[in-house]
A = this chain, B = another copy of it.
């Protein structure tokens, strides 16, 4: 569904968001431990998220990663997925033809469209804030 990089990206964002709700900055190490991911690889992903203005990053001592509490509910899953995996989820064809194209549809186009529209809707209506709040409450897990 998503690339591994994207999965890490979403998990990292949720963790950073949750900690930001508690007014805490987190270090790369914190993130990697919280989501159980290889830290150097995670670093690259956080850079992408930072450049896409999804998270903030500050260098130096007292530095770390954070998200603006006020903007938290504006960050949708779709932004994160787009920042890391691009638009393949939105425009890719289920059977691997160049692009999904309703004018020259692949055999599963109609069936696939239903799923993808559902997925789009989910990505565009789910905010990182709500996911972070559930995580904060201990209802969900970022590692196992």
Residue positions of A touching B, CB distance < 8 A: 1-2, 4, 7-8, 10-11, 14, 77, 92, 94-98, 101, 104-109, 111-112, 114-115, 118-119, 122, 126, 131-132, 134-135, 139-144
* Complex CA distance for A63 and B10, rounded to whole angstroms: 50
The answer to whether B114 and A10 have CB atoms under 8 Å apart is no
**How many monomers of this chain does the complex have?**
2
CB distance from A129 to the nearest CB of B (A): 11
Instruction: Among B106, B111, B131, B143, point to the contact of A97 (Cβ < 8 A).
Output: B143
* Complex CA distance for A10 and B143, rounded to whole angstroms: 34
- Chain B residues with CB below 8 A from A105, complex form: 139-141
The answer to whether A122 and B114 have CB atoms under 8 Å apart is yes
The answer to whether B126 and A108 have CB atoms under 8 Å apart is yes
Sample of 20 further A-B pairs with CB below 8 A, known A7-B94, A106-B141: A1-B1, A2-B94, A4-B96, A8-B96, A10-B107, A10-B108, A11-B95, A11-B96, A97-B144, A98-B144, A105-B139, A106-B142, A107-B131, A107-B134, A107-B140, A111-B122, A114-B118, A115-B115, A115-B119, A115-B122
The answer to whether B10 and A97 have CB atoms under 8 Å apart is no
Instruction: Among B7, B94, B104, B114, point to the contact of A1 (Cβ < 8 A).
Output: B94
A111 with B126, Cβ < 8 A, contacts A1-B1, A104-B141, A144-B101 known: yes
